[in-house]
Amino acid sequence: MKTLEVAFNGLVGPTHNYAGLSHGNVASETHASQISRPRQAALQGLEKLRLLFERGVPCGILPPQERPSIGFLRQLGFTGSDVDVLSAAAKQPRLLAAASSASCMWTANAATVSPSADTDDGRVHFTPANLASKLHRTLEPDATARALRRVFHCESHFAHHAPLPGGVHLGDEGAANHTRLCSAPGARGLELFTFGRRAFGGGAEPTRYPARQTLEASEAIARRHGLAATRTFFLQQSPDAIDAGVFHNDVIAVGHEDLLLLHERAYVEHAAALEDLRRAFDGELCVVEARESELPLAHAVGSYLFNSELLRTSAGSRLLLAPQECAEDEPTARFIERLLAWPGTPVDEVHYVDLRESMQNGGGPACLRLRVSMTVPQYQSVLRECLYDLEAHDKLTAWIECHYREQLSGSDLADPALLDESRRALDELTGILALGSDFYEFQRVHRGRS
């Protein structure tokens, strides 16, 4: 049966800012407290979607979440009107920054997705990530689950699971630590789960930065999704790589169909892991490794090469959509030249995209998208307004230009006008995307008072 791989991209929210909340994410910490440009960030994300759409790649849209989250701040004991809550929280700037983060734009962390070719009930399965390792990201899972259920609403096609319980013991970071390989679109695949540590100890762990994904979380998701044990792999990420700033696997490896592109320092027992994958793969798996001698890990992290998107265009060519920083970093650019000249041409072309606003906060092209492979009937059941086309592009461009600020600083997060601007923007967006007038908490609170 014909299968479509759809790239669902997260819209950058109106409160996009550089608070440096993500310890272990080098770019996030490096650019902390700098001035952000929310309008530019959102338009850069839309431009990426337009580029892919024009190459015949099906694309979708997931909405930003409500920020600042007044509900979260009220849970922490701040009281009074919404403006009072915001004013009081401003005296605790790290809490306000957490409540205002636009980090849900990185939809690679939204969920783990298993297509129907791999699951025992023949449905596409979603498990929203609990993102237990970072305070600002723990605000996301419930709203993510709501969005996924509305966009993928047909129960005969889609199975929705709750985020995993258990806090950091079952810490789950979503598709950023999940890779799927297959011999052809629609064929059953190998599902690769990458973890950083074992929840109850045992094995090597990083010493400088925290390992966010646990083996136990990955195993639980595989059980939930009904994946065959012989087609499911659990690979431990190299602790040295995590300590070098590889906070998610998609900073050091990217896979698509029969191609796995990665750095030689990606996994513990790296060579044995690759051999196991080759043996289990239906057909010939092409593995392209970057050697430390040609692409030092620090350059791979700085350029975000492995956070590029690998995609198949409508013409059948394989496209590497890479951040502009890859062209500007000499070792990375040389490696890409080698990749394009590789025997059998696993990658036919490369296109560089400007995502500097996201990159400076630690998210490249692959961070901004959640892959969802679907059959044609499954695709046709998706909420139509959340599928991208050029008409949607024009509507969203006008919406961004109307509602988003040109610049934002940390002190602006306490501005009551920003809260009002963000709510008006999101209220209008629910109409554009047909999400309903009760999608956001502030909408439900308002309806309850009316």
Q: What is the pLDDT of residue 450?
A: 43
The DSSP element (H or E) to which 140 belongs, if any, is: none
CATH number of the CATH domain containing 42: 3.75.10.20
The answer to whether 175 and 112 have CB atoms below 8 angstroms apart is: yes
Compute the Cα dihedral for 130, 254, 51, 318 and give only its sign.
Answer: negative
Per residue in 197-216, pLDDT (tens digit) is 999 988 899 999 999 999 99
In a domain? residue 336: yes
For residue 356, being part of any structural domain is answered with yes
Supply the pLDDT for residue 256. 96
- Give a yes or no: residue 78 inside a domain: no
Which residues share a beta bridge with 307? Answer: none
Q: How confident is the model at residue 449 (pLDDT cuts 50, 70, 90)?
A: low
User: Quick check: is 91 in a domain?
Assistant: no
Convert 307-322 to b/e letters by CB count within 10 Å (16 or more is b).
bbbbbbeeeeebbbbb
Contacts for 170 with CB less than 8 Å, ≥ 6 apart: 130, 132, 164, 199, 214, 216, 217, 220
Q: With both helix axes pointing from N to C terminus, report the angle between 82-89 and 93-100 in degrees, rounded to the nearest 10.
A: 130
72 within some domain: no
pLDDT(446) > 50 = yes
Residue 362 has a pLDDT of: 86
pTM score, whole prediction: 0.96
Q: If you average pLDDT over residues 328-346, what whole number do you get?
A: 92
- Residue 90 inside a domain? The answer is no
- pLDDT tens string 284-295: 999 999 999 999
Single out the catalytic residue among 5, 66, 140, 173.
Answer: 173
Region of 308 (left: φ > 0; alpha: ψ -120 to 50; beta: rest) is beta
Structure confidence at residue 98 (pLDDT): 97
Catalytic residue, chosen from 59, 286, 326, 367, is 367
Residue 87 within any structural domain of the chain: no
Task: Let me know if residue 73 belongs to a domain.
Answer: no
**Annotated catalytic residue, options 16, 136, 157, 248:** 248
Average pLDDT over every residue of 372-401: 98
Quote the crossing angle between the two packed helices 416-432 and 82-89, to the nearest 10°: 120
What average pLDDT does range 240-259 have in this prediction? Answer: 95
Two structure tokens written together for 307: 């956070």
In the residue annotation, 326 being an active-site residue is answered as no
The whole-number average pLDDT for the span 245-253 is 94
User: Is pLDDT at 104 greater than 60 in this prediction?
Assistant: yes
Domains in the chain, number: 1
Q: Is 248 a catalytic residue?
A: yes
Task: Determine the average pLDDT of the residues in 146-168.
Answer: 97
Indicate if 367 belongs to the active site: yes
Q: What range does the domain containing 356 cover?
A: 3-67+102-449
- What phi and psi, each to the nearest 5 degrees, are found at residue 4? -115, 130
Sort strands 286-290 and 259-263 into parallel, antiparallel or unpaired. parallel
Q: What is the mean pLDDT of residues 59-88?
A: 97
pLDDT of residue 32: 77
Residue 227's CB: how many other CB atoms inside 10 A?
20
Among residues 8, 33, 186, the alpha carbon closest in space to that of 110 is found at 8
